[in-house]
Amino acid sequence: MKYFFVIFLVLAAWALPVWAHVGSPDVFLEGNAGPYRLFVTVRVPQVIPGIAAIEIRSESDNLTEIRIAPMQLTGPGSQYSPALEPAERSKNDPQFFRGSLWLMEFGSLQVRIEADGANGKGLLAVPISAVAQRMLPMQRSLGAVLFVFMIVLSLTMVAIVVAAVREGNLPPGALLPTAREQRVRLAAAIASFVVAAVLTLGGLWWRSDARQYASHIYTPPEIEGNVGANGQLNLRARPIRMTSGNPRRPEHWIDFNDLILDHEHLMHLFFVRSPGMDVFWHLHPERTGSGSFTQNLPAMPAGHYQIFADVVLSSGFPVTMIGQIDLPSGITGQPLAGDDSGTDGSPVSAETGATAEYPLPDGGRIIIMWGRDGQPLQPLRAGVPLILRFRVADRSGNPAQDLEPYMGMAAHAAILRSDGSVFAHVHPTGSVPMASFELAQASLPGNLDHGTMDMKKMAADKIAPEIFIPYGFPKPGLYRIFVQVKRAGEIQTAVFDAAVQ
């Protein structure tokens, strides 16, 4: 009978629309577990509960063991680490470790990593978002097999009842009394009805369960905008329902008063003119009420723009809201101020195996290098973690000495697929927002200030002209990379195009 319910799931899954994925769900992060520098990739599962695959590359060769466990990012659950399980060391590459973890609940989680080796122990916390991205369809062949089972089992059930009523109390060799025929027919009808009723109820239960799961599937929430005559942009975030997937922690609506600062701003707003991706702005609206934000636009050319608005909830859960807006011509706009920046420069095509140079207005250059020294440069492949490497040169071609932190980071990059289906906002620490990264490190025992201390140290330090950003392109296609640095008080943006196989 159980099989029949499974069939209903198959039907329910087929009936669901195919959700578009916006964004780049896997997590790429480079950070220190005590004395060890690790490049961590977390491939988050598409369904929850589900298995996350963890890949860790260590820069040093003196590690003896890496152990991992999932836990909550914030709250009481972040204080009590479950038993850590050893990650498996690769046989061919002793600096590469691999493990898998069950994620049992939705929401803002972390992968706790403990590295042990010649220099002692070190901890690193990698924030991840556990959300259901889709409903997995059942294999057709399995569905067909189960369907046959259901038919056979149902018919057998009726046949057993019929046989019991017809011959159950008949002495061996006796003939069937004709008066019993009617009882047999009645029994067959009742048995068929009961079997059909059980199947129907089971199917209803199954479909309601599937519907409930479908309502937990995470899609990027929407944000709406309109522009006043004076170039004032007003944004309104649609209410967002969040679920923990845990009946004891009920679902709730996101409170837009519950945002935390990420690189000193509540919202990072990206405007990209579509379809050409030829105009790019990175702005920082002010909150005017719960869910509403405002920004004085700079002088922007008219056109259709895609909006990506990044915020981070106090749980450390990052949300990228998406929207569209048509800008009329004649927006005179305000001069750029603070951390706001943009470009309409033409992209430079960047192929692996070769460097590509983007010319900056002051005669300097941002050069995309790909990977670390000595690493072979292969064609870019979807799903493969890599380092986007940039060098900033001054007008005479020497490494730039005038780099400053831009919102606390050496660089910010926005990565977009040509159809707008992927948007990632990444930094030298990786694909997680700085605010989530800091919360994660603060959750480590005896490490309460670690993350913020790093930021302050960074702000005081001189920025090296070589920038490494860990990332992995989620699917093949043409991507545009906007990379932003700050030099001598000026924010500069370079634009590269990269083809991913």
Q: Where do contacts with Cu ion occur on this chain (CB under 5 A)?
A: 412
For Cu ion, the closer of residues 365 and 412 by Cβ is 412
Nearer to Cu ion, 81 or 431 (CB): 431
Nearer CB in complex with Cu ion: 428/472? 428
Residue sitting closest to Cu ion (CB): 412
Residue closer to Cu ion by CB (options 112, 412) is: 412
Considering the complex, state which of residue 43 and residue 412 has its C-beta at the smaller distance from Cu ion: 412
Q: How far is the CB of 429 from Cu ion (least distance, A)?
A: 10
- 356, 496 contact by CB (below 8 A): yes
Token code pair at residue 162: 């019929």
Beta-strand runs (E) in 217-299: 223-227, 232-237, 241-242, 252-253, 259-260, 268-273, 280-283, 286-289, 292-296
CB of 406 to Cu ion, least distance (A): 8
Count of Cβ atoms closer than 10 Å to residue 52 Cβ: 22
Report which of 200, 96, 195, 114 is spatially closest to residue 152, judged by C-alpha positions: 195
Minimum CB–partner distance for residue 371 and Cu ion (Å) = 22
Angle, alpha carbons 490-366-333 (nearest 5°):
40
Shortest CB 322 distance to Cu ion, Å: 17
Q: Which is nearer to Cu ion, 412 or 480 (CB)?
A: 412
Q: Which is nearer to Cu ion, 433 or 472 (CB)?
A: 433
Distance in Å, CB of 303 to Cu ion, minimum: 24
Give whichever of 168 and 489 is closer to Cu ion, judged by the CB atom: 489
| Shortest separation between residue 263's beta carbon and Cu ion, angstroms | 6
CB of 145 to Cu ion, least distance (A): 50
Min dist CB 425 to Cu ion, Å, is 5
Please give the helix or strand (H or E) that residue 332 lies within, else none.
Answer: none
Query: β-pairing, 477-487 with 490-500?
Result: antiparallel
Q: Which amino acid does the sequence have at 231?
A: G
Nearer to Cu ion, 296 or 431 (CB): 431
Residue in 495, 242, 476 with CA at minimum distance from that of residue 357: 495
CB 393 to Cu ion: min, Å: 22
Question: Least distance to Cu ion from the beta carbon of 427, Å?
Answer: 6
Between 202 and 285, CB nearer to Cu ion: 285
* Three-class DSSP category at 14: helix
E runs forming strands in 338-489: 341-343, 348-349, 356-359, 365-368, 386-393, 403-404, 412-417, 423-426, 466-471, 477-487
Q: Which residue in 267, 343, 340, 346 sits closest to 297, CA to CA?
A: 340
Q: What pairing do the DSSP bridges indicate for beta strands 120-130 and 85-86?
A: unpaired
What is d(CA 63, CA 74) in angstroms, rounded to the nearest whole number? Answer: 28
Alpha carbons 239 and 67: distance in angstroms, whole number: 39
Tell which residue, 112, 106, 49, 128, has the closest CA to residue 80.
Answer: 112
Cα 257 to chain centroid distance, Å, stands at 23
